[in-house]
Amino acid sequence: MWFLPSFLTPTFLVLGLLAISLPVLFHFFRRTPRGEVRFSSLMFLLASPPRLTRRSRVDNWLLLILRGLILVLIALAFGRIFFRQQDFLDISGLPSRRVAIVVDTSASMFRDRLWQQARQEFEKVVDELGPNDEVAVFAFDSELRTLVGFSADETAEQVSRRELVRGCLASLQPRWRPTNLGEALIQASEQLESEFEGDSADQITEFRLVLISDFQEGSDIRALRSFEWPEEIPVDVITVESDSTDNATLSLLENRKGLSADASSRVKVTNAAESRQTRFELRWFDDGGKTAEVAGVAVVPPGQSRVVRVKVPDQPRSGLELSGDDHDFDNRFFLAYPEQVPRKVQFIGEEESVRNQLLFYLRKASAAVVGRRLTFSDESAFEEGNGTDILFVAGTLGKDQAAAVRRFCEAGGTVCIVATTEKMSPAISTILAEPVEMQEVPDLDYLLLSEIDFSNRLFSPFSDPKFSNFSNIQFWKQRKVESDTLKPIARFDNGNLAIGFTAIGEGRCYLFSSGWHPADSQFARSSKFVGVMMSMMLDRLERENLNLSLGEPVEFGTFVKGKSAILVTPEGDEIVLDAIDEPLQAIEIDHPGIYQLSSGAQMKPLAFNLPASESQTDTMDRELLEQERVPLGTITTAAEKVEKERQRRDRELESRQKLWRWMLILALGILFLETWLSGYLARRSSREASAAQDS
């Protein structure tokens, strides 16, 4: 039984009913005066209102009603009228969906009340889901963690499972990790699809992924670029936002102490784009977290970064703190200093004047490098075990001395032979343990360096084409060295070896076939000299970076030797690390600070800081996700679902009944009637008019 008239498109009905007023309006339009003249401007004219001869009135009520009726019928047809039985849709009758809720637990969620907001949003989403919806909850920061999986659905009862979902965030807190949003979304989408099997598979009509996050700009979504996002999974982004947008962060560009008391470190201070604060103070803090007086002030406009110099304190400090912004979570930068061991440099060789000249330029070059501790020994004879790290051989040597140099190198020392005279060939032969021929090259105009191996550590700082021009360094004197063991790093343009290298035991041995002092060349006066010599003299370990980022895999094996190590947290807890020679995810490191890594007698401080990206707290543009072809959508509540379902059924009902056709046919019939009637009335009035005229 059909009752309850309904309309599929009520807008057309309303418009159609409004149109009924048109015949009445037309009726009155007829009364407006004719003969309109369009004129450019009435600014020079005055009004003289027209006199109307007749009062406006309705002539024929029947015609008006018929015309109105036609419009009503057309309006009903366009309104797509249909009749339906009383039918209440039940929420439980809805088709089920699969919904994955992904909650951000990265460090930026520590801000303000973001985490509370996220939990509220989460509860709201859970409340609005239908009883048939399958829900899984994930948390993510640098990795995705499953809190409640889809598989829990099969075992648990619906009600208890919903309680499980609701309570899963209760004990959860954000972690000190960066945001890898791209990877988290990919993994969540894979879980949505991969566990899609079993009895309920047929009933599931749609997939949804709800992302609850602060959606900060520093989120890493690069992983999405190489992933083809499944079109059937739209992502509903629910952004939690902090009231305050003021956030700045800092990072140290240089982590080594300077040589002198007035040495300073360069600190990069970055301000968020929507920040209102521009002035920030920097203070050093010690192990206990106590801050000292202001060490520097940075004035940074919003959205920019500035590098400021901060005076390095006399006592080593744990790090630098920034103040002046609203969010504290990223305001501390912890710092671990590599152990500074002064490196001893000794020059030996019997020709004193040459030796002193070479040493003079080397001292000058090393003074130019801040933060390197090199001590120069004045002793002219080499004694094994005198603590020398780098040994320069710049003249003839006795046999014993040469043998001692060889042993020094084999034990791990760095030896640099500067061939200043051809008489050095016996000593060089002893050091390299092969017969080496040397010969003074006579009557040189000048030579230039060529065939430079820029992959070698000596020249690698100059590998950029901007700096690789060595053509302005001229060499006047050179010794031709013929050796099989020496690998050429650079040659002269006449093809002779300029700089050679060989590894002896655990040590390294370099050979320069020309000196850098003015008697031989102008190499010492070139700016390239400092770079080349420092690359040779600095130890690899001294350049290592002890400042690490949280959430990145750490190879502890690069810092200490051995199979296992102990990591002591800032609170004093010990973490035993096994198999440290393999890459290890820094899972146990859950907050920033200075940790001590020890293995046997070795001990190294390691500073863990939040990655700089996590401090980019401006809200990211949602379009960035769409650019990676991730469709965005809004999750519908159960009530909206019911409404949609009702509309779908209405459409089906209407298409079955098709009452609009009957309405149109009726309207056409009345139209014919109206035409006939109006024609008849017009004829009658004209007849009457002519009769009146005749009479």
Partner 1 sequence: MATTAQTGETARYRQKRVDPETLMRIRNLQLRARVVVEGFYNGLHRSPFHGFSAQFSEYRQYVRGDDLRYVDWKLYARTDRHYIKRYEDETNLRCYLLVDRSQSMDFGSLSYRKSDYATTLAATLAYFLNRQRDAVGLLTFHESLGEYVPARYRTGHFHRLLVGLETPLSGKRTDLVAPIQQIAEVTRRRSLVVLISDLLADPRELQKSFGSLRSCGHEIIVFQIADPAELDFDFQNPALFRDLESGKQLYVDPAAARRQYLEGFARHDQTIRQACEAHGIDRIKVSTEQPLEDALFDFLQLRQATHASARSHRRNSATVAEGRA
Long-range contacts: 635-638, Cβ < 8 Å, 24+? 635/99, 635/125, 635/128, 635/208, 635/210, 635/236, 637/128, 637/129, 638/91, 638/94, 638/128, 638/129, 638/130
- Cα-trace Rg, the chain: 43
The reply to whether 48 sits near partner 1 by the rule CB under 8 A is yes
How many residues line the site for partner 1 (CB under 8 A)? 17
Measured from the CB atom, is 38 or 466 closer to partner 1?
38
CB of 27 to partner 1, least distance (A): 20
Q: Report d(CA 94, CA 92) in Å as an integer.
A: 5
Residues from 205 through 224 that contact partner 1 (CB under 8 A): none
Measured from the CB atom, is 1 or 37 closer to partner 1?
37
H-helix or E-strand spanning residue 689: helix 659-694
Residue 542 corresponds to which tokens in the numbers above? 């001294």
Measured from the CB atom, is 41 or 171 closer to partner 1?
41
Rounded (10°) CA dihedral 71, 77, 79, 83: 130
The reply to whether 29 sits near partner 1 by the rule CB under 8 A is no
- Residues 1, 25, 46, 201: which binds partner 1 (CB under 8 A)? 46
DSSP 88-144: PPPGGGSPEEEEEEEEE-SGGGGSTTHHHHHHHHHHHHHHHS-TT-EEEEEEESSSE
The reply to whether 41 sits near partner 1 by the rule CB under 8 A is yes
The reply to whether 442 sits near partner 1 by the rule CB under 8 A is no
CB of 30 to partner 1, least distance (A): 15
In one letter, which amino acid is 360? F
CB of 56 to partner 1, least distance (A): 17
Measured from the CB atom, is 25 or 46 closer to partner 1?
46
Measured from the CB atom, is 3 or 39 closer to partner 1?
39
- Residues 1, 35, 201, 455: which binds partner 1 (CB under 8 A)? 35
- Residues 49, 288, 495, 572: which binds partner 1 (CB under 8 A)? 49
- Residues 29, 40, 445, 695: which binds partner 1 (CB under 8 A)? 40
Q: Report d(CA 170, CA 77) in Å as an integer.
A: 56
- Residues 1, 29, 33, 54: which binds partner 1 (CB under 8 A)? 33
The reply to whether 261 sits near partner 1 by the rule CB under 8 A is no
CB of 52 to partner 1, least distance (A): 11
The reply to whether 37 sits near partner 1 by the rule CB under 8 A is yes
Measured from the CB atom, is 52 or 292 closer to partner 1?
52
- Measured in degrees and rounded to the nearest 5, phi and psi for residue 470 equal -105, 10
Q: Report d(CA 315, CA 201) in Å as an integer.
A: 66
Residue 368 corresponds to which tokens in the numbers above? 């130019």
The reply to whether 53 sits near partner 1 by the rule CB under 8 A is no
Stretch of 34-42, 248-256, 268-276, 455-463 lying at the interface with partner 1 (CB under 8 A): 34-42
Measured from the CB atom, is 32 or 116 closer to partner 1?
32
Measured from the CB atom, is 45 or 692 closer to partner 1?
45
- Residues 39, 61, 88, 672: which binds partner 1 (CB under 8 A)? 39
Measured from the CB atom, is 36 or 464 closer to partner 1?
36
Residues from 506 through 545 that contact partner 1 (CB under 8 A): none
387 and 346 Cβ atoms separated by less than 8 Å: no
Among 332, 329, 297, residue whose Cα is nearest residue 317? 332
The reply to whether 50 sits near partner 1 by the rule CB under 8 A is yes
> What distances in angstroms separate CA 165 from CA 122, 211, 364, 457, one per listed residue?
10, 15, 69, 57
Distance in Å from the first CA to the final CA of the chain: 64
In one letter, which amino acid is 433? A
- Residue where the block lists tokens 């894979």: 190
Stretch of 40-48, 373-381, 403-411, 546-554 lying at the interface with partner 1 (CB under 8 A): 40-48
Residue 454 corresponds to which tokens in the numbers above? 């820029």
Q: List the beta strands (DSSP E) in 542-646.
A: 547-549, 565-568, 574-577, 593-599, 602-609
Measured from the CB atom, is 51 or 540 closer to partner 1?
51
CB of 59 to partner 1, least distance (A): 24
CB of 35 to partner 1, least distance (A): 4
Q: Report d(CA 495, CA 259) in Å as an integer.
A: 41
The reply to whether 44 sits near partner 1 by the rule CB under 8 A is yes
121 and 240 Cβ atoms separated by less than 8 Å: yes
CB of 46 to partner 1, least distance (A): 7
In one letter, which amino acid is 12? F
Among 486, 490, 488, residue whose Cα is nearest residue 447? 490
Stretch of 47-55, 233-241, 378-386, 407-415 lying at the interface with partner 1 (CB under 8 A): 47-55
Measured from the CB atom, is 25 or 576 closer to partner 1?
25
- Residue where the block lists tokens 């060295």: 481
Measured from the CB atom, is 35 or 572 closer to partner 1?
35
- Residues 1, 3, 25, 45: which binds partner 1 (CB under 8 A)? 45
CB of 26 to partner 1, least distance (A): 19
- Residue where the block lists tokens 């370099």: 510
H-helix or E-strand spanning residue 252: strand 248-252
The reply to whether 171 sits near partner 1 by the rule CB under 8 A is no
H-helix or E-strand spanning residue 208: strand 204-213
CB of 43 to partner 1, least distance (A): 7
136 and 246 Cβ atoms separated by less than 8 Å: no
The reply to whether 495 sits near partner 1 by the rule CB under 8 A is no
CB of 39 to partner 1, least distance (A): 5
Q: Report d(CA 408, CA 385) in Å as an integer.
A: 9
In one letter, which amino acid is 243? D
Residue 254 corresponds to which tokens in the numbers above? 């240089």
- Residues 1, 25, 43, 201: which binds partner 1 (CB under 8 A)? 43
Among 482, 527, 670, residue whose Cα is nearest residue 73? 670
CB of 37 to partner 1, least distance (A): 5
What residues contact 365, with CB distance under 8 A and at least 6 apart? 524, 529, 530, 533, 534
The reply to whether 47 sits near partner 1 by the rule CB under 8 A is yes
479 and 521 Cβ atoms separated by less than 8 Å: no
The reply to whether 36 sits near partner 1 by the rule CB under 8 A is yes
- Residues 3, 25, 29, 42: which binds partner 1 (CB under 8 A)? 42
CB of 332 to partner 1, least distance (A): 51
> Which residues here bind partner 1, judged by CB under 8 A?
33, 35-50
